[in-house]
């Protein structure tokens, strides 16, 4: 497939899990891909090699999405390497659990800095430099509006805010043909939440299809939204959760 031939994508948090799957899928569909990583340099090198094996160019950028300068720096590095930016995927995020009577100001600042301020600033920098007709996507969570467990108030807050941000940016950027959408994964088999982990059976019992999503499946939805078939889709929320929120 070459739906994204000639395009350049930037994926935040692209060294593992959903982010790595998205980076590789966009490359498979024809894009050259830059991605950020916070710590896992070895994993980042593996993603670079995987993208290059697909015949595309890759750029790994060391950046912590909690740093307010990281979004603009990543966009600048992408432009310096590839000369353009067509797709931004805000994937980097952290998962901080704790009941409201135990969460601290530091927990709040850390979560909101990474999960909300990071996507906002990266999107702002991308929008200033993105060609008309581009795409901005954010990875949200079904916990944005469906909270089946205690201890999710802070994480849910940060993901729910992405919905309003997405709709507002879609209106701002619509006249330029830039689409803006948010994808809400449900239980997904990653290192943070393995489908054979101690809580997996309890999660699986609440999924209508009785299985976790795979990162590649989430990446497929992202690629569709970023590709030519998604050009008339903007301001939307897309849930991929096997029916866990029905």
CB 36 within 8 A of CB 14: yes
What residue spans of the chain are helical by DSSP H? 17-28, 41-53, 70-82, 105-112, 118-129, 153-173, 200-205, 215-226
Neighbours of 159 (CB within 10 A): 25
Is the distance from CB of 238 to CB of 181 less than 8 angstroms? yes
Residue 205 CA: distances (Å) to CA of 33, 79, 190: 37, 45, 18
- How many CB atoms within 10 Å of residue 80? 10
DSSP bridge partners of 245: none
The single residue of 155, 156, 187, 227 carrying the catalytic annotation is 155
From CA 235, how far away is CA 231, in angstroms rounded? 12
Which three-class secondary structure state does DSSP give residue 102?
coil
DSSP state of 88: E
39/15 Cα distance (integer angstroms): 9
Instruction: Report how far residue 118's alpha carbon sits from residue 234's, in angstroms, rounded to the nearest whole number.
Output: 21
Q: Is 95 known to be catalytic? A: no
DSSP letters for 134-188: -EEEEE--GGGT---STT-HHHHHHHHHHHHHHHHHHHHHGGGT-EEEEEEE-SB
Active site amino acids: 155
């Amino acid at each position: 497939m070459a739906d994204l031939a000639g395009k350049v994508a930037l994926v935040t948090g692209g060294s593992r899990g959903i982010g790595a799957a998205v980076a590789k899928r966009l490359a498979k569909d024809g894009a050259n891909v830059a991605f950020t990583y916070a710590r896992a340099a070895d994993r980042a090198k593996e993603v670079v090699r995987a993208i290059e094996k697909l015949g595309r160019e890759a750029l790994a950028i060391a950046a912590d999405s909690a740093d307010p300068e990281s979004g603009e720096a990543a966009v600048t590095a992408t432009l310096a390497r590839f000369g353009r930016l067509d797709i931004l995927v805000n994937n980097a995020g952290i998962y901080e659990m704790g009941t409201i009577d135990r969460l601290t100001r530091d927990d709040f600042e850390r979560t909101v800095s990474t999960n909300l301020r990071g996507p906002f600033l990266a999107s702002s920098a991308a929008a200033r430099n993105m060609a008309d007709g581009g795409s901005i996507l954010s990875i949200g969570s079904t916990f944005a509006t469906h909270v089946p467990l205690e201890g999710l108030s802070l994480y849910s807050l940060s993901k729910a805010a992405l919905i309003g941000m997405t709709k507002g940016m879609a209106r701002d950027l619509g006249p330029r043909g830039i689409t803006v959408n948010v994808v809400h994964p449900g239980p997904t088999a990653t290192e943070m939440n393995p489908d054979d982990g101690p809580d997996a059976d309890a999660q699986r019992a609440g999924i209508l299809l009785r299985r976790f999503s795979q990162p590649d499946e989430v990446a497929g939805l992202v690629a569709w939204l970023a590709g030519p078939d998604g050009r008339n889709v903007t301001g939307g929320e897309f849930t991929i959760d096997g029916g866990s929120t029905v």
